[in-house]
């Protein structure tokens, strides 16, 4: 039923419309139409959903930040500068002076230390970002200290390259929380967690006025922000789940920005002079995981063959329509140390030869799990059609994402199509997911990285991942990641296909709406209209 | 209604109260059945409930903590009784999706659905009943055909399609009504929430701008839902009417000198009121369950959208809370229509 439903919605959206813009949003208010049904918390120690992180990128300042214009350039946020020690295990941050939280309290090194300790002690989902630095609830008070109001000293218990440490402190858990306000609302030792889920206590460009789940998020400009008060005094993010409805809103001028329109809707807006479409390449990858537990998939040649049986160009042009670009290695293009080789294209003859070598001259039958939502359902059908050309009969099983993930995490799939976004802006996050598999037993004591889920383990790859984390020479480190990507590209249990391109639609009068490659780099405060 | 209608009021009251007590008993059993079925079906889904709480990227330790916090390490039957115990005290648990108590979520989403459903059913009754009577009385004539074709369109066209077309025409092209949502964004969070029904809340504060804005958002989805119920109500009214008009008492009335329309409204109509009340009650109840497709198209933050989203994310507390609410609504409306037709039905009055 849902399928018919979506089809009808799309058909409806294609009805020709002569837009007449009489409605207008207020001059100092930025209205964003977005699907925000993923937000479960707006506490920076817990939020780990894309829409939530976007909001938090605007309501909290972080210890380190990315330049809005250059994702590869880390700059100080709350910190003015940082000095690593000789052994690379102690980092001394100097905190900017004169900054204030929205409460009026000054921002000090104590608040920064409190915020990092809070993440570790609360132990919520994103805690792994910081706990990998060797931090535990027991040692965190010694590892993170504030000897005076403007000095934050951070010690790490592992050998990590400094650039990786800075990247971690620029992620959402590096948000600096107002200690006084948080502790005023604390109960039962929760560090203000219950309260901060729905309130903000930061020094970002905005403060949170209200969050109504599945309805709206309203932000108010912080006049004391270190970057100057934003020209948009109010930001209203309105939950609009249907892409067709988003299109209508932006055509009518009832919203300034629409974030979830699909390729065909964007195509329909091409001739509209009131709406500007800006493509923004994202770090999100679409891929098919191949479970090596499956007999046929144990042979690297079969996995290779399947990668030759996907019509990459066709899918990008006809299904994604500008919503993705081809990318086949595990670290997205445009980021530091990304491998931009895309050696695979649809080549049925080559695939047949590989299958023959592997002992499957007539192909075989195999299940493919895929999300039942757009665009996955369409991609799955394309894959089914092209694989059939070499005798590989694909049986598509579509389901809701959560059902799919449950199956994936239990390693019960054969082929499974899904997406993956990095946790922070360093290639280690994806190397750790796609390449590293420290314990391939069902108990998975080391967690369930993607390599584990596909039962793929290569000791040399594990060793290379571990070595790359420690390398302090940037040039060498980059080469190590390029090699690792090549190895996984040739031999790994994945067909990585595409890198998402976000098609951001704004009204023509909206300038400087910054939508970076990840949710951490979405800035509302530079926008004017 | 005949002049003698209220004569049996005393006996009527007794006839009303006795079954009410019996119904209260069946209510309890219904609730236990309802929660049990929802609960155990919830446990059968192939979705890991912990995933909804901590996400795909949580560490093993965070995962295990959440697993224990959700009580998933206890036997299913124990989990069910623990749940029932909390429900009795009014605690429906916390929704994993919104991280708010389910009860406060429901108090937020239900007024939105209630407002929409009530306006829709008013439209449905005010238009549907006279249309049905007209069609039944003029069976086979032009008026009948018009009502029947309009009705047929109403219950055969998918509601989301009608919703989208309505949006394109009345909002997109003509600009007569407002678009999706309950209010324009710049009116959000101005009125204090008293009842959660924006038309009432804004009227109390005298914020007439907001009242009219809310109305212009409400009228299109309400008219579309109203159209669906009027199609059903008109069809049923028509067939009830045709049945009654074929009865001999109508002929008798006509012979005694009643005009045709007099016979229709004064003799036949009172007799179709009882089944009609059931029909209207059922329509209203189904509207109150939340019109999922309409709510999706119009981004209307109501009950239907809430429960569906909860289902897709295995947010079982929210699903069960919503089910209990729907169960309550359904049973109350049944009780109410039961009560009404005990008043209107002369046979039950004297029983």
CATH number of the domain within which B252 lies: 1.10.3720.10
Q: Give the one of A48, A238, A242 whose C-beta lies nearest to B55's C-beta.
A: A48
Question: Could you tell me if A47 and A172 are in contact, meaning their C-beta atoms sit under 8 angstroms apart?
Answer: yes
Residues B129 and B270 in one domain: yes
The mean per-residue pLDDT over the stretch A216-230 comes to: 92
Residues A25-34 have a mean pLDDT of: 90
DSSP per-residue letters across A268-288: HTTT-TTEEEEEEEEEEEEEE
What percent of chain B is predicted at pLDDT more than 70?
A: 91
Contacts of A382 (CB under 8 A, 6+ apart): A310, A311, A314, A315, A319
Q: Where are the beta strands (DSSP E) in A166-296?
A: 206-212, 216-221, 234-239, 257-258, 275-290
Confidence of residue A18 (pLDDT cuts 50, 70, 90): very low
* A38-52 pLDDT, tens digit each: 787 899 999 888 899
- Residue A100 and residue A108: Cα distance in Å, rounded? 9
> What are the φ and ψ backbone dihedral angles of A30, each rounded to 5 degrees?
-100, 120
B44 shares contact with chain A (CB less than 8 Å)? no
To the nearest whole Å, the CA of B133 is away from the closest chain A CA by 34
Range of the domain at B267: 102-348
- Kind plus residue range of the DSSP H or E element containing A365: strand A365-371
User: Given B59, B171, B181, which is nearest A447 (Cβ)?
Assistant: B59
> Quick check: A5 and B98 CB within 8 A?
no
Chain A: residue nearest B309 by CA? A37
Contacts of A236 in chain B (CB under 8 A): 185-186, 188
User: In chain B, which among 206-225 make CB contacts under 8 A with chain A?
Assistant: none
At B72 the pLDDT is 85
The runs of H, that is alpha helices, within B45-168 are 49-54, 60-69, 76-88, 102-137, 142-156, 159-166
Residues with Cβ within 8 Å of A237's Cβ and at least 6 positions away in sequence, in order, are A32, A34, A36, A51, A55, A216, A217, A218, A219
Query: What pLDDT is stored for residue B12 in this prediction?
Result: 64
| B191 touches A: beta carbon within 8 Å | no
Q: Say if residue B110 is in the same domain as residue B79.
A: no
Same-domain check for residues B284 and B249? yes
For residue B180, the model assigns a pLDDT of 80
β-strand partners of A65:
A75
What are the pLDDT digits (tens) for A350-376?
A: 999 999 999 999 999 999 999 887 789
Residues 225-264 of B with CB under 8 A from A: none
Report which of residues A367 and B328 the model is more confident about. Answer: A367
Q: Annotate A100-149 with three-state secondary structure.
A: ECCCCCECCHHHHHHHHHHHHHHCCCCHHHHHCCCCCCCCHHHHEEEEEC
How much is the pLDDT for A10? 46
| Mutate: best of B51, B53, B58, partner A, most A CBs <10 A | B58
| Residue B348 banded pLDDT, cuts 50, 70, 90 | low
Quick one: B166 and B280 in the same domain?
Answer: yes
- Among A236, A245, A399, the residue with its CB nearest the CB of B188 is A236
pLDDT greater than 80 at residue B51: no
**Lowest mean pLDDT segment, chosen from A382-386, B78-82, B216-220, B342-346:** B342-346
- Report if residue B278 sits inside a domain: yes
More confidently predicted of A4 and B83: B83
B282 and B176 inside one domain: yes
What are the φ and ψ backbone dihedral angles of A170, each rounded to 5 degrees?
A: -95, -5
Domain end: B88, B120, B154, which one?
B88
Between CA A342 and CA A287, with CA A309 as vertex, the angle to 5 degrees is 60
Residue A21 has pLDDT above 60, yes or no: no
Mean pLDDT of A512-523: 90
Phi/psi at A496 (5° precision):
-80, 130
**Whether B173 and B74 share a structural domain:** no
Best B46, B68, B183 member to test A by mutation, with max A CBs in 10 Å, is: B46
* Same domain assignment for residues B76 and B163: no
Taking the C-alpha atoms of residue B221 and residue B306, their distance in angstroms, rounded to an integer, is 17
The per-residue pLDDT for A349 is 96
Residue A92 is predicted with a pLDDT of 96
Closest CA of chain A from B120, distance in Å: 22
Same domain, B330 and B189: yes
Tell if the CB–CB gap between B167 and A248 is shorter than 8 Å: yes
pLDDT band per the 50, 70, 90 thresholds, residue B10: low
Contact across the interface for A210 and B61, Cβ inside 8 Å: no
Among chain A residues, the shortest Cα distance to B45 is held by A403
Q: Which of A214, A240, A255, A434 to mutate to test the interface with B (most CBs of B within 10 A)?
A: A214
Q: How many domains does chain B have?
A: 2
> CA-to-CA distance for A293 and A61, rounded, in angstroms?
45
Chosen from B49, B59, B100, B301 to mutate, greatest number of chain A CBs within 10 A: B59
How far, CA to CA in Å, does A352 sit from each of A305, A428, B86? 7, 35, 61
Residue B93: inside a domain:
no
pLDDT of the residue at A22 = 42
Q: Taking 90 as the threshold, does the pLDDT of residue A80 lie above it?
A: yes
Q: How many residue pairs from chains A and B have C-beta atoms closer than 8 A?
A: 151
- Helix pair B9-44, B76-88: axis angle to 10 deg: 140
A5 to chain B: which residues are within 8 Å by CB? Answer: 160, 293
Q: Are A9 and A244 in contact (CB under 8 A)?
A: yes
B300 touching chain A per CB within 8 A:
no
Nearest to A447 among B60, B305, B314 (CB): B60
Asked whether A366 and A414 are in contact (CB, 8 A), the reply is yes
Tell me the ipTM for this assembly: 0.71
Q: Mark whether B82 and B152 lie in a shared domain.
A: no
Structural contact between residues B112 and B298, judged by C-beta atoms closer than 8 angstroms = no
Which of the four pLDDT bands, split at 50, 70 and 90, describes residue B43? Answer: confident
Residue A231 is predicted with a pLDDT of 93
Last residue of a domain, one of B63, B88, B113: B88
Q: Where are the alpha helices (DSSP H) in A144-178?
A: 162-169
Q: Are residues B187 and B63 in the same domain?
A: no
CB contact (8 A) between residue A214 and residue B309: yes
Mutate to test the interface with B, among A233, A402, A404, A423 (most CBs of B within 10 A): A402
Residue of B nearest to A410 (CA): B48
* Calpha distance B323→A401 (Å, rounded): 23
Which region among A17-26, A293-302, B265-274 has the lowest average model confidence (pLDDT)?
A17-26
Q: Which two tokens stand for residue B151?
A: 């009705």
The residue with greater pLDDT, B246 or A153, is A153
* Least confident piece of the model among A156-170, A282-296, B97-111, B217-231: B97-111
- Is A9 in contact with B185 (Cβ distance < 8 A)? no
The reply to whether B7 falls in a domain is: yes
- Residue B350 buriedness (CB in 10 A; 0-12 / 13-18 / 19+): exposed
**Mutation site for A-interface testing, chosen from B48, B54, B56 by largest number of A Cβ within 10 Å:** B56
Does position A20 have pLDDT exceeding 70, yes or no?
no
Q: What's the sign of the alpha-carbon dihedral B107, B111, B113, B114?
A: positive
Q: Of the candidates B88, B113, B134, which is a domain's last residue?
A: B88
Average pLDDT, chain A: 90
Strand A415-420 to A365-371 pairing: parallel
Query: Do the chains contact at B165 and A15, CB–CB below 8 Å?
Result: yes
Q: Which of A116-125, A176-185, A240-249 is predicted with the least confidence, judged by mean pLDDT?
A: A240-249
Chain A partners within 8 Å of B48 (Cβ): 402, 405-406, 409
Q: Is B187 exposed, middle or buried (0-12, 13-18, 19+ CB in 10 A)?
A: middle
User: Which residues from A are below 8 Å from B65, CB to CB?
Assistant: 123
B297 in contact with A, Cβ within 8 Å? yes
Label residue A475 exposed, middle or buried (CB < 10 Å: 0-12, 13-18, 19+).
exposed
> Which of A17, A22, A31 shows the shortest C-beta gap to B175?
A22
Alpha helical stretches, state H, chain B: 9-44, 49-54, 60-69, 76-88, 102-137, 142-156, 159-166, 198-205, 208-245, 248-255, 260-262, 269-288, 292-297, 303-312, 316-344, 346-349
Whether residue B95 lies inside any domain: the answer is: no
- Buried-state track A2-17, b at ≥16 Cβ within 10 A, e below 16: eeebbebbbebbeeeb
Would you call B180 and A240 a contact, using CB atoms and an 8 Å cutoff?
yes
Residues B224 and B281 in one domain: yes
Encoding tokens for residue A420? Answer: 């993956």
Measured in angstroms, the CA of B27 and the nearest CA of chain A are apart by 32
**Are B161 and A12 an interchain contact pair (Cβ–Cβ within 8 Å)?**
yes
Establish how many alpha carbons lie within 13 A of residue B345's alpha carbon, considering only the half-sphere containing its beta carbon. Answer: 17
Give the mean model confidence (pLDDT) for residues B6-20.
65
Q: What percent of chain B has pLDDT over 90?
A: 11
pLDDT at B194 over 90: no
- Confidence band (pLDDT; 50, 70, 90) for B16? low
Mean pLDDT of A440-452: 86
> Is the pLDDT at B230 greater than 80, yes or no?
yes
Name B157's Cβ contacts closer than 8 Å, sequence gap at least 6: none
On whether residue B96 sits in a domain, the answer given is: no
Residue A13 has pLDDT above 70, yes or no: no
Distance CA A511, CA B297 (A): 29
Q: What is the mean pLDDT of residues B125-144?
A: 89
Mean pLDDT of B109-124: 92
Residue A524 has pLDDT above 90, yes or no: yes
Q: Is residue B234 domain-shared with residue B300, that is, in the same domain?
A: yes
């Amino acid at each position: 039923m849902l399928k018919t439903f979506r089809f009808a919605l799309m058909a409806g959206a294609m009805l020709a419309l002569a837009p007449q813009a009489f409605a207008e949003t207020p001059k100092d208010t930025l209205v964003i139409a977005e699907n925000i049904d993923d937000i479960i918390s707006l506490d920076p120690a817990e939020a780990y959903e894309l829409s939530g992180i976007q909001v938090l990128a605007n309501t909290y300042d972080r210890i380190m930040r990315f330049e809005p214009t250059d994702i590869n350039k880390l700059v100080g946020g709350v910190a003015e500068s940082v000095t690593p020690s000789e052994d690379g295990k102690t980092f001394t941050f100097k905190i900017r002076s004169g900054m204030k939280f929205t409460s009026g309290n000054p921002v000090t090194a104590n608040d920064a230390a409190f915020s990092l300790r809070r993440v570790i002690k609360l132990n919520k989902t994103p805690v792994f970002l910081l706990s990998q630095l060797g931090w535990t609830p027991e040692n965190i008070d010694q590892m993170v200290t504030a000897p005076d109001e403007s000095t934050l000293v951070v010690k790490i218990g592992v050998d990590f390259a400094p650039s990786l440490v800075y990247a971690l402190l620029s992620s959402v858990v590096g948000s600096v929380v107002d200690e006084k306000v948080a502790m005023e609302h604390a109960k039962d030792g929760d560090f203000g967690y219950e309260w901060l889920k729905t309130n903000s206590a930061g020094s970002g460009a905005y403060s949170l006025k209200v969050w109504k789940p599945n309805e709206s998020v309203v932000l108010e400009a912080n006049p004391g922000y270190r970057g100057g008060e934003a020209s948009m005094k109010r930001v209203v993010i309105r939950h609009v789940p249907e892409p067709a409805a988003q299109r209508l809103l932006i055509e009518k001028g009832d919203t300034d920005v629409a974030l979830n329109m699909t390729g065909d809707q964007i195509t329909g807006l091409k001739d509209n002079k009131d709406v500007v479409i800006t493509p923004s390449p994202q770090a999100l990858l679409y891929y098919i995981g191949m479970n090596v537990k499956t007999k046929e998939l144990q042979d690297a040649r079969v996995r290779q063959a399947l990668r030759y049986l996907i019509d990459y160009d066709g899918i990008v042009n006809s299904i994604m329509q500008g919503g993705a670009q081809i990318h086949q290695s595990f670290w997205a293009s445009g980021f530091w140390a990304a491998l931009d080789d895309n050696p695979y294209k649809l080549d049925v003859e080559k695939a047949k030869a590989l299958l023959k070598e592997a002992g499957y001259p007539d192909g075989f039958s195999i299940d493919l799990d895929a999300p039942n939502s757009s665009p996955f359902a369409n991609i799955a059908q394309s894959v089914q059609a092209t694989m059939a050309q070499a005798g590989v009969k694909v049986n598509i099983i579509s389901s809701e994402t959560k059902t799919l993930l449950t199956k994936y995490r239990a390693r019960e799939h054969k082929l499974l199509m899904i997406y993956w976004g990095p946790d922070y802006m360093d290639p280690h996050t994806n190397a750790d997911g796609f390449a590293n598999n420290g314990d391939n037993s069902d108990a998975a004591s080391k967690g369930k990285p993607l390599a584990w889920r596909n039962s793929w383990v290569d000791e040399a790859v594990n060793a290379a991942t571990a070595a790359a984390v420690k390398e302090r020479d940037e040039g060498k480190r980059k080469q190590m990641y390029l090699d690792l990507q090549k190895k996984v590209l040739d031999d790994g249990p994945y067909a990585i296909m595409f890198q998402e391109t976000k098609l951001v639609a704004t009204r023509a009068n909206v300038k400087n709406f910054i939508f970076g490659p990840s949710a951490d780099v979405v800035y509302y405060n530079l926008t004017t209209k | 209604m005949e002049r003698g209608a209220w004569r049996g009021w005393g006996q009527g009251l007794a006839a009303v109260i006795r079954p009410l007590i019996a119904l209260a008993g069946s209510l309890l059993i219904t609730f236990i059945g309802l929660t049990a079925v929802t609960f155990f079906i919830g446990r059968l889904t192939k979705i890991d409930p912990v995933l909804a709480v901590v996400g795909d990227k949580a560490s093993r330790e965070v995962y295990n903590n959440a697993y224990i916090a959700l009580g998933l390490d206890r036997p299913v039957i124990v989990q069910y009784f623990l749940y029932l115990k909390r429900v009795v005290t009014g605690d429906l648990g916390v929704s994993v999706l919104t991280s708010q108590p389910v009860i406060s979520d429901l108090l937020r989403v239900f007024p939105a659905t209630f407002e929409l459903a009530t306006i829709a059913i008013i439209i449905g009754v005010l238009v549907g009943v006279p249309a049905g009577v007209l069609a039944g009385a003029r069976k086979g004539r032009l008026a009948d055909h018009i009502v029947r074709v309009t009705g047929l369109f109403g219950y055969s066209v998918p509601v989301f399609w009608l919703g989208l077309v309505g949006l394109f025409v009345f909002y997109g092209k003509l600009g007569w009504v407002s678009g999706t949502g309950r209010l324009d964004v710049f009116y959000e969070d101005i009125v204090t929430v008293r009842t959660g029904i924006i038309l009432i809340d804004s009227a109390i504060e005298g914020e007439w701008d907001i009242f009219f804005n809310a109305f212009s958002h409400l009228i299109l989805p309400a008219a579309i839902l109203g159209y669906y119920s009027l199609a059903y109500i008109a069809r049923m009214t028509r067939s009830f009417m045709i049945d009654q008009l074929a009865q001999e008492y109508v002929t008798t009335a006509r012979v005694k000198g009643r005009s045709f329309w007099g016979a229709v409204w004064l003799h036949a109509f009172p007799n179709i009121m009882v089944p009609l009340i059931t029909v209207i009650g059922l329509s209203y109840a189904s509207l109150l369950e939340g019109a999922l497709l309409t709510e999706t198209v119009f981004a209307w933050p109501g009950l239907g959208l809430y429960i569906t989203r909860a289902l897709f994310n295995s947010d079982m507390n929210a699903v069960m809370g919503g089910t209990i609410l729907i169960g309550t609504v359904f049973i109350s409306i049944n009780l109410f229509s039961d009560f009404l037709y005990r008043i209107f039905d002369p046979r039950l009055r004297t029983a």
